[in-house]
């Protein structure tokens, strides 16, 4: 039975690393485009301050994307690195 998770408004199978990778990568692109940025403004009679911050942790997101990419590659049966063996005969 598939366990569905909602990421960015899209239901994604939690057990499929390729689908999770695509959904999280789309979320990262939206974050980089500035869609997940919050603005806060504080005013006093003397000063006015504006702060912008993002609620996402980009290092954790990058680590999870790398893990999911490796899992997706393994699921498809693709090898990311090939070793060549050479044998010399006389």
Q: What percent of the chain has pLDDT over 70?
A: 81
DSSP string, 7-52: ETTEEEETT-HHHHHHHHHHHHHHHHTTTTEEEEEEE-SS-EEEEE
Are 61 and 28 in contact by the 8 Å Cβ rule? The answer is yes
Confidence (pTM): 0.61
Mean pLDDT score of the chain? 80
Angle value at C-alpha 15, between 10 and 17, nearest 5 degrees: 75
Classified as helix, coil or strand, 67 is: helix
- Supply the pLDDT for residue 10: 82
Query: pLDDT tens digits, residue range 36-73?
Result: 667 778 887 788 888 777 666 778 888 888 999 888 88
Domain ranges of the chain: 16-76
* CA 56 remoteness from chain centre: 10
Residues with Cβ within 8 Å of residue 18, at least 6 apart in sequence: 68, 72, 75, 76
Pick from 1-10, 12-21, 33-42: least confident: 33-42
pLDDT band at 79 (very low <50, low <70, confident <90, very high): low
**What's the confidence (pLDDT) of residue 38?**
73
């Amino acid at each position: 039975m598939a366990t569905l998770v909602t990421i960015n408004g899209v239901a994604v199978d939690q057990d499929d690393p390729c689908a999770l990778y695509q959904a999280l990568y789309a979320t990262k692109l939206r974050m980089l485009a500035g869609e997940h940025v919050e603005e806060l403004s504080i005013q006093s009679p003397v000063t006015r301050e504006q702060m912008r911050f993002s609620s996402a942790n980009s290092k954790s997101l990058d680590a999870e994307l790398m893990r999911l990419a490796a899992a997706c590659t393994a699921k498809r049966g693709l090898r990311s690195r090939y070793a060549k063996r050479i044998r010399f005969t006389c």
